[in-house]
Amino acid sequence: MNLQPYRSSFVVFVADSHLERGRDVCTALEDSGYNTEHRVSIESLWEEIIKNPPHIVLFYYSDDKFFPNDSARLEAVEKLQSILPEVQIIMLCEEQHLHAACTMYEFGIYDCLVWPTQHPLQLLRAVDRAAENDYYMYLNEQLNEASGGDQERPSVDFAMFNIWYKSLESTKTKEQAIQVWLKEAIRIFKTDTALFFSYLESKKSLVASDAVGLGASDLRDVGLDLAEREPGFETSMLLTPHRVRALHDFVSNGLLREQALFFSLIHEGKVLGIFIIPAKKGQIFKDNEADSGYMQTCLLMMQRHFSVLSLTDKYKKFSVYDDESEVLNFDFMFRKIREEISRARRITRPVSLLRISIDHFEDLTLSNTDKVMSRLLKSFSEILVANSRLNDLIGRFERDQFLVCLPHTDRRGAAVKAERLRRIIESADVTSILGGSGSITVSIGISEYPYLCHDIEGLLKSSESALLEIKKVGHNKICLAAQPLKFVPDFVVKDAKDAAAHSR
């Protein structure tokens, strides 16, 4: 839906005590046609809401003037929803607060967005989605009120919508969400088949990927080359799929149906695919705007759910992986090493740790840009991953240090592994990244449980001590930590030769 002609009909409140930031948000929306009001205090917000009820309200998550604490934030959201049940609430936040801000979805906010945005259109698209949802809800209400007497009453039932929405929220993947939408389309339009075609932008083709009413074998190799079948095809044409002649031809010749409805699935400004709802044989779809509007609302809810799923995936990844090197971050690595030590204790097998420090890292940092250093760290981590076993754990410890945990590997096997990595890294060509000599070296401290320590803290400390011994005499070496005086291991490792062989 093109909202540009309707934006001036929507009132957007920006609730932010920060004058400059609030003005920036207002200006961005006013330039696109929205009516905005900037409220700098919670008191003025409540006062103005009574006089001039907004359609959309934007809060700033960490604004301590509006929200002195978490409970005040929740109380403000609940109060706003009690005064204006249909208001759409969008929460702006700094990137470091995004994970916490996303918990507000549970309390009925419409969207959550990092500010400042990476692209100017992100704010506008978020507000457009909220406005579009409001528009379709309004349209459905008007059509319900207009229907009566001899007119056929729309099949829209908001009790059923609530049931449908709960089933949507329970989905964990986009594929599951698409299935939920397809089933609802069949119920609403009283047909027997509904299909979803994924859009491959690079090939300008649609490929059947999901359906209700058809078997998996019926979808195999079903696709549509739009570049070939639709003269002058451009991706933007899929925003109004009912105008794409090739889709109608496919319905007639491929599905052998006389009529179909088409809906575009758009997420983050990209066309993900097209829903095709063919009429049953002998069925004629009536021009029922309420049903189409209802399914558009369901589509908007699904797009919003996609955003939630994307954020969930993103923060699951961030909670596990280091963003710069894409290996495990230290918090997660720490937990996994602790688990490995616990497992080693149960099965009386060793576990070793390599603490790898990139030599002359400070000099490299001073002589190269942040972008170059990020590429170097990514390339370095790829070398570690490519030369490790599937069950080895690789993580980031400090900016210049990485950890490699070697399950079922004793100190001798770990030393062999360390020396092998040292030579591989020394000979690696990173000229495309650093230029000049295009090489780096590493120093590696080695420790082992149970021979050298009792727990993860001891494993980390002893590997650090070994690393410091190297730095006393130079760089580009490996060093095995020494066993503490009068140290008694938790157990004696059997089959030491086999444990050493496991490292290779």
Question: Quick one: 385 and 448 in the same domain?
Answer: yes
Q: Please tell me the predicted confidence (pLDDT) of residue 182.
A: 94
Question: Quick one: 112 and 230 in the same domain?
Answer: no
Q: Please tell me the predicted confidence (pLDDT) of residue 5.
A: 72
Question: Quick one: 357 and 246 in the same domain?
Answer: no
Q: How far apart are CA 466 and CA 484, in angstroms?
A: 12
Q: Please tell me the predicted confidence (pLDDT) of residue 156.
A: 46
Is residue 305 domain-resident?
Answer: no
Q: How many CB atoms lie within 10 A of CB 264?
A: 18
Q: Which residue, of 135, 164, 181, is where some domain finishes? A: 135
Structural domain boundaries enclosing 29: 4-135
Q: Is the pLDDT of residue 143 over 80?
A: no
Question: Quick one: 388 and 243 in the same domain?
Answer: no
Measuring CA to CA, which residue among 174, 199, 185 is closest to residue 307?
174
Q: Please tell me the predicted confidence (pLDDT) of residue 320.
A: 86
Measuring CA to CA, which residue among 418, 373, 422 is closest to residue 399?
373
Amino acid 260 reads A
Mean pLDDT in residue range 10-23? 93
Query: What's the pLDDT tens digit per position in 421-460?
Result: 999 999 999 989 988 767 899 999 999 999 999 999 999 9
Question: Quick one: 192 and 222 in the same domain?
Answer: yes
Q: How far apart are CA 221 and CA 228, in angstroms?
A: 17
Q: Which residue, of 78, 105, 135, is where some domain finishes? A: 135
Question: Quick one: 162 and 117 in the same domain?
Answer: no
**Tally: H helices and E strands in the chain:** 18, 15
Is residue 141 domain-resident?
Answer: no
Amino acid 105 reads Y
How many residues are present in the chain?
504
Q: Which helix (H) or strand (E) holds 497?
A: helix 496-501
Greater pLDDT, 502 or 293: 293
Is residue 292 domain-resident?
Answer: yes
Q: How far apart are CA 240 and CA 243, in angstroms?
A: 6
Is residue 9 domain-resident?
Answer: yes
Is residue 324 domain-resident?
Answer: no
Mean pLDDT in residue range 400-426? 96
Q: Please tell me the predicted confidence (pLDDT) of residue 118.
A: 77
Number of domains in the chain: 3
Mean pLDDT computed over every residue of the chain: 87
Q: How far apart are CA 301 and CA 167, in angstroms?
A: 12
Greater pLDDT, 475 or 281: 475
Omega of the bond leading into 350 within 30 degrees of 0 (cis) = no
Local confidence band at 140 (pLDDT 50, 70, 90 cut-offs): low
Measuring CA to CA, which residue among 133, 104, 201, 171 is closest to residue 125?
133
Structure tokens at 380: 């370095």
The reported pTM is 0.44
Q: Is 56 helix (H, G, I), strand (E, B) or coil?
A: strand
CATH number of the domain within which 279 lies: 3.30.450.40
Contacts 24+ apart (CB under 8 A), 344-347: 344/407, 344/408, 344/449, 344/450, 345/450, 345/490, 345/491
Q: Give the least confident one: 43-57, 194-208, 345-359.
A: 43-57
Local confidence band at 287 (pLDDT 50, 70, 90 cut-offs): low
CATH number of the domain within which 494 lies: 3.30.70.270
Question: Quick one: 167 and 121 in the same domain?
Answer: no
Q: Please tell me the predicted confidence (pLDDT) of residue 155.
A: 46
CATH number of the domain within which 131 lies: 3.40.50.2300
Question: Quick one: 27 and 119 in the same domain?
Answer: yes
Q: How many CB atoms lie within 10 A of CB 448?
A: 29
Q: Which residue, of 80, 110, 135, is where some domain finishes? A: 135
Q: Which helix (H) or strand (E) holds 397?
A: strand 393-398
Q: Give the least confident one: 246-250, 286-290, 334-338, 351-355.
A: 286-290
Query: What's the pLDDT tens digit per position in 476-485?
Result: 999 999 999 9
414, 388 Cβ separation under 8 angstroms: no
25, 14 Cβ separation under 8 angstroms: yes
Is residue 142 domain-resident?
Answer: no
Is residue 117 domain-resident?
Answer: yes
Residue 339: partners with Cβ closer than 8 Å, 6 or more residues away: none
**% of the chain surpassing 70 pLDDT:** 91
Question: Quick one: 198 and 91 in the same domain?
Answer: no
Structure tokens at 356: 């790898």
